Each structure stands twice: as structure tokens, then as C-alpha cells.
A and B are shown apart, each in its own frame.
Chain A
Amino acid sequence: MGHEDNYWIRRMGSGRLTRRRFVGGAALLGVGGAGLALVGCGDDDSTSKTPTAAGGGGATDVSSLKKLLDLPTGAAAGEGLTINVGAVLALSESGSYYGGIMSKGIDLAVEQIKALGGPTFKITYKDHKSGNAEAGAAAARELGIAKTPLCLASYGADIGSMLAGIEQYKMLTLDGGGGTGTAFQKKPYFYGTRAITPDDTFPGVYQYVTAKLPNVKKVQLVYWDLPEELINPSVELLKAALAKNKLEYLGLEKAPIGTNDFSTLLARLKQKNADMLHMAVYGLDPGFLMKQLDTSGINAVVMGSEFTPDAAKVAGASYNKYMFAYDFFDIDAPSNPWGKLFVDSFKKKYPDVVPDFYAANFYENMFTTWEIVRRVIAKKGDVNSGDQLNAALQEKTVFPSVYGGDSAKAGVIAIDKDTHTVSKRSMGVFKIKDGKPAMAASFDIGGADFKLVG
């Protein structure tokens, strides 16, 4: 009755199982089974990779760091030890550029530390997929299960998702990407090495505005659409800084996160007639925003909280009107010899890659990690104990930095023992000249050491 072409006959009726189909099915099952077995095989601890020297370029002579950073040698430096460090970064999805550049900073530091007679830091990279909470929680858990005592995190412990694992497994974690922010202060074993933006910048910015932008009287805040508890502290701090400088606070407008179309936001902003827009938006958003703002008819000074070359590229010429303030690492004019060495060695190791402040942060955090390890060694402690490492950090929360300093000395970063965020961190107000950032003022936390530049 001619039903050979009937799908059901072919599948179930006559039961003719062709060899190809069987082999195909068996192969699939085989691969699956082997896969499961392979994950099983291999010890739990060897989930890490030794960073491959991806940079085609050569290594720089780093011996000058010995004196600059006052480094010991031999056993005190941790020579011969192998220490596991986790690195949870954005290695896929929209932020994968950041994970990439951060990993380069880490790898550069690991190489230099070894050359300086330090331990071999074995980095286990984990991908939090540009802010996926589930991935972050899993990463912290996996690192913890593998007994990794140290970790470098980003995106604010991946928007907090790593914190439970960090505490449970006592994994000492430094975040040089998002820092602690307002939300994740005082968390056990977790420390931020970034200035909180825009909060920490307000005192310095408004001193600058009073000095150099006398026409600015009314300020509008434009903030990423985050939970109220996070925005409110910033609003209060801004109000305080504005009041102190006798300026008017117009209000808050929320910007959608990670979009490229700001037409509605700009339409609403136009109504406000602000003299200055203080923006707390990140990633590519400032670039798109500036580009559209340029043709929107809004005449206001724009003060941002981040600068990335990518956002600048997107914005094109409109970025020449952009100003920003935060702990920005100026690769064209590093402020101290260590910073200069970082820029030079990075360019040498990665010839076609431009270093940026994220690379600098993770580079210096690796050195900070080393110093903490050295302190534990000095006490003849266990470098794999999260508690001991934590105690070593708390002992003296001041570390050398590629930021700040002067032509002879490395700069300094200090962390507050209670809040776990920075208490000393060089920041600046920057303008754009010929497409490149140029420092207009420098200041520290709380507006300390305010200095006009240029």
C-alpha cells in the first residue's frame, strides 16, 4: 500500500535500523559517555590552566622593580612555591573585551613576579559571561571546592553572586573591576580596589567645577537603572557636594543599562535645562549617549565616570566635549615609574594591544596578592589558608600602586579595614584633547590632595 515514505513506518513500523543510523546513534552516546567520564577523570584540583604566553612580544627587564617596590628574594619572596589563584572575568558575551584585557594584565604580572623570584601563580580562569549571576555563583563554588585560596574578581564579585561562595570557602578576593561599589562593602574575604564611582569623585569634581566651570549652576544626575538602595547613597553624596559648593541639584534620570538608543532619555533630559549632566553610565553607553547628545540640542557640560577607548571610538568627534572623573590610568602619562614600566612591558608583550586601566588594576592586584602571600610566609603561615591571607591583608592595608606617586616613588592604594573599599586611591578629572584624555585635576578620596593640572 505504498507507505515506505511514511515517516512512521520508517521510524517504528518495520524496525529497519540502518547501519549508518546505528553507528551515528552509538557515536553520539559514546561521545556523551566519554565526555561524562572525562569530566570525572582528572583530579579535581587540576581545573586550572597555566597562562600561556600569548603575547608574541618579549619580556621586559623588571629588575628595577626590586628596589622600587622593596622586594625580598629567595624563600621570603615565595620562590619555588606554586599558588592557585582564581580569576573570574567576563570572557564571553558583551563584556568579553574586558575579561580579555584583564587577563592580559594578570598574565603580565604573573610572568614578572616569577622573573622577580616570586612564586608561580597558577591562574584558573572562570567566565561569568559578562554579569551572569548563575555563572558567578558556580565559579566561586568551583574555585572553592578546588580549595583555591585567592581570587581576582570583576563586575563587583559578579554583581554579588560570588559572595556566598567567597565566604563559604574563605577565598580572599580582590576586585579591580567593579570594586565593592556601594552594595558589597563589609563583605568577608572580599575587598575592592577601585574608587566607588561616582560617589568617591564628587568632592574632587565639584571643587574642579567651582574653580574652572563657573557657569555651571544646575546639575542633573544621570544614573544607570540600578536598585534604589544603590542609587540613593550616590544621590545623597551628590547633594552634599553640590550644597557645599553652592550648586543646585536638579534631580535624577535613570538610563537603561547596556542599550545604544538614548533617544527617550535625551528627550526627557532636554526638558531639564541643566548646566551639567553628571553621568554614571558605563561600558559603551557613554559613547552612544555622547554621540546622540551631540545632535540633540542639549547644551550642557557632560561629566562621566568612565573612559574606554571603545566608547570613544563609538562616540567619535563628540567625545571631544566629554569630561570624566575617576581612578583612570593615563597610559600616555603614567604618574610613577612603576606605571611607566607597566605600560612599556605590556606594549612589549602584547604588541597590538593598548593597555587600559582595567589591565593596570589587575596587574597591580596580582602584585598586591603577592605581597599578602609574602606576609604569610614571613609569619611562617600557610599560604593556602584564606583566614591567614585575610589576616595578612588586614595587618596593613596599604600597598604600592601604579596610580599616583611621583617621578621617583610608586603610588599608594589603601583599603579600609571595615568597609573593604579604598580609603586612598588616586583619581582625576580629565578632559579630552585630540581624542586623548588629558588630566585637568587630581585628587584622592574625600577630595584630599586636590590639585589643578595643566
Chain B
Amino acid sequence: MDWTLFQQLFVNGIITGSRYGALGVGFGLILGVTGRFHFAYSISYVVTAYAAIIAADHGVPLLPALVVGLAAGAVLAMLIEGFVYRPLQSSAPTMALLAIFISSLGLVIVGQNLIRLEWGSRSKLLDTGFTVEGLSIGESTFTSLDVVMVCVLWAVILGVWALIRFTQPGKMISAVRVNPEMARVVGIDSGRVYLAVFAIGSTVAGVVALLSAMKYAALPDMGGQPTFLAFVVAFLAGVGAGPLRAGLTGLVVGMAESLSGLWLSSQWSPVVVFSLLFLYVAVKPLSLGVTLPTIARRLRTAGAR
């Protein structure tokens, strides 16, 4: 085996895997707690990047601009939950899953094209605020931005984990995730919890978006592929899985995709990822315990109380 190539691909795998992990954590949180197929995740993603860039273009210093972006993405997600998903849920609980799915799609179309209308389809850049240098370990190269990225992403993943595990709001979120009826009985307002979860989930997506805008560029359709991957990683980790598990699953997926470059040219990577997914889903039910039917029924009614 070509060790040099392997080293480089391994390093690449860590970088992309961390991205996928964070995406999976955010999307998985939303999916696990609310049961919503929130494809409009991509809107929060792209809005965060654009808001930050536009703030920066207007002279706002970098860190506050990033905060502006994250806030914009989070607020938008909460608005979507409050004004689109929730009303759908209450007016049509049995149709909710698919109705929300289609509404999500509609929102993505609207959002993406509004951005194109307003700011065109040309790329927008986000300045990192520091000079990006090339670094290397052994034969593999990466940049200082990559290092920052990986650190920040895992800090975020661990942050979400800590939030859920140790803080009061986090425990409420857990309660709603595990047993919404019971949570309601003990007085937890799942409506507020849902909003919080959407905010957290899209903030995580926003972090990934900002880093992506720094490393590459911001484009109106930048949210599509990450949302797709987030969806895949969240399901692979298991709906309702914790942030750590989702993060590690993302890492594995990123690594698998990257290492497949040892044998296959890069056009085949999606095949590898989805074949893995397919095998996993096909094999999964054979070792299923009792938990899946419960989760499944909750999903079917889109987390209805």
C-alpha cells in the first residue's frame, strides 16, 4: 500500500470527518428530539455564512461578524420551526412527516433563489483574520486553517454533549428526546425545547458554514451537500444518538470517503459512502432490539405528543 498517499488521505479524512461529524450532531439533535426532517437545515447553513460576510463587508470586525452570522442562522431556524413546522404539526399530525418535508424543500428553493437574486451567484469570501500557512506532518500536508477547523469543530461537538449532559436546559432536551409524553407530564414545555434545539442545531451548522466559507467560499447552494451528509450521518449514528456518537460516526464516514481514494478515483467516493450506508441499513434490522419500533412510531407522527 502506498503509505505516503495513505498518510495524506488519512489527514484529509480527519478534516472532512470532523465536518461531517459536526453536521451530523446538529442535524441529529433536531431529528432526534423533534423528529422533523429539517431539510431547510441548508438555509441556516448558507444564511449564517452570508450574514457574517455581509456584516464583515460593512466593517464589522471579524468575531462579532461571525456571531452575527450564527445568530442569523439560529433565528431563522427558530422562525421556521415556529411558523412553518409547528402549525403543520398541529393541523395535520398524521401527515406531518411528509408535509414538513415538502415545506422544507419549498423553503430551500425560496431561500437559495432569494440569495441569488439579492447577491448573485458569484462567490463571497470570508476572511480568516489570520494568514493561512501550509503545514505538514511527515509526508502529509494541510493548513493552519485546517487545524483551527478541526479544533473548533470538536470543541463544538463536545460543547453540545456537555450542554445536554450537564446543564438544566440540556437535561430538559434529553427528557423530551427520550420520552416526550413524560416530559410534558412533568411540566417541560416541549415547544420551547423544540425551539432551543433548532437554535442549537443550526448554530452547529453555522459554525461548519463559517469555517467552510473561510476555507473555500460562500455560494448560494453551499448548503445542499452538507445537509445531505448531515442527514446521512445522523441516521447512521442512529436517530436519537448522542452528540459524541454522531460526531464519531461523521468521522468514520469522512475517513471512509477519503481512504477510498487509495483505490478509486475521487468520482467514486459518493458510491462508497452510500454503499456503506445501504449495507448498514440493510443489515441493521437483524440485530434490532426493542428501541427501534418506539423511535419509529415517534418519527412517523413526527414527534407528536
Contacts and interface: CB of A to CB of B under 8 A. Distances in A.
B213 to A, nearest CB: 11
A6 to B, nearest CB: 11
Contacts of B266: 225, 254-256, 264-265
B275 interface: no
Contacts of A284: 123, 217, 219
Interface string B212-254: 0000110101000000000000000000000000000000000
Contact of B216 (A94, A267, A314): A314
A264 B125 contact: no
B143 interface: yes
Contacts of A264: 9, 12, 258, 261, 266, 269
* Size class of the contact patch on chain A: 20 to 34
A396 interface: no
B116 A271 contact: no
A296 B93 contact: no
Contacts of A316: 125
Contact of A260 (B12, B15, B216): B216
Interface string B48-70: 00000000000000000000000
Contacts of A255: 266
A314 B267 contact: no
B92 interface: yes
Contacts of B94: 7
B269 to A, nearest CB: 7
A294 B258 contact: no
B118 interface: no
A60 interface: no
The interface size bin for chain B is 35 or more
A111 interface: no
Contact of A310 (B9, B123, B133): B123
B122 interface: yes
Interface string B3-15: 0110011001001
Nearest to A98: B121
Interface in A6-28: 7
B217 A260 contact: yes
A268 interface: yes
A314 B125 contact: yes
Interface in A249-289: 253-256, 260-261, 263-265, 267-268, 270-271, 284, 287-288
A295 B120 contact: no
A296 B4 contact: no
B15 A263 contact: yes
Most buried by B among A263, A291, A297: A263
Nearest to B264: A264
A313 interface: yes
A96 interface: yes
B141 interface: yes
B113 interface: yes
B64 to A, nearest CB: 23
Contact of B141 (A253, A297, A310): A297
A7 B132 contact: no
A263 B12 contact: yes
Given A7-B93, A263-B16, A271-B2, A254 B116 contact: no
A100 interface: yes
B265 interface: yes
A297 B123 contact: no
A294 B2 CA distance: 23
Interface in A278-326: 284, 287-288, 291, 294-297, 310, 313-314, 316
B187 to A, nearest CB: 21
A295 B123 contact: no
Interface in B76-127: 92-94, 113, 116, 120-123, 125
B267 A94 contact: no
A288 B216 contact: yes
B134 interface: yes
B122 A295 contact: no
A92 B136 CA distance: 40
A93 interface: yes
Nearest to B2: A271
A284 B220 CA distance: 13
B141 A295 contact: yes
Contacts of A95: 121
Contacts of A291: 216
B263 to A, nearest CB: 11
A263 B141 CA distance: 10
Given A263-B258, A271-B4, A271-B5, A97 B121 contact: yes
Contacts of B136: 297
A7 B88 CA distance: 13
A267 B134 contact: no
Interface in B261-303: 261, 265-267, 269
Given A295-B134, A295-B143, A97 B258 contact: no
A256 B264 CA distance: 12
B265 A253 contact: yes
Contacts of A288: 216-217
A324 to B, nearest CB: 18
A98 to B, nearest CB: 9
A338 to B, nearest CB: 27
A298 to B, nearest CB: 9
A385 B277 CA distance: 55
A254 B265 contact: yes
A119 to B, nearest CB: 32
The 7 closest A-B pairs by CB, nearest first: A295-B134, A267-B8, A264-B261, A263-B12, A260-B216, A96-B121, A97-B121
11 contacts: A92-B116, A93-B221, A225-B267, A256-B267, A263-B16, A264-B9, A267-B5, A267-B12, A295-B132, A295-B142, A297-B136
Interface of B: 2, 4-5, 8-9, 12, 15-16, 92-94, 113, 116, 120-123, 125, 132-134, 136, 140-143, 216-217, 219, 221, 258, 261, 265-267, 269
Interface of A: 7, 92-97, 100, 225, 253-256, 260-261, 263-265, 267-268, 270-271, 284, 287-288, 291, 294-297, 310, 313-314, 316
Given A96-B120, A263-B15, A314-B125, 13 more contacts: A93-B221, A253-B265, A254-B265, A254-B267, A256-B267, A256-B269, A263-B12, A263-B16, A267-B12, A270-B4, A291-B216, A295-B141, A313-B217
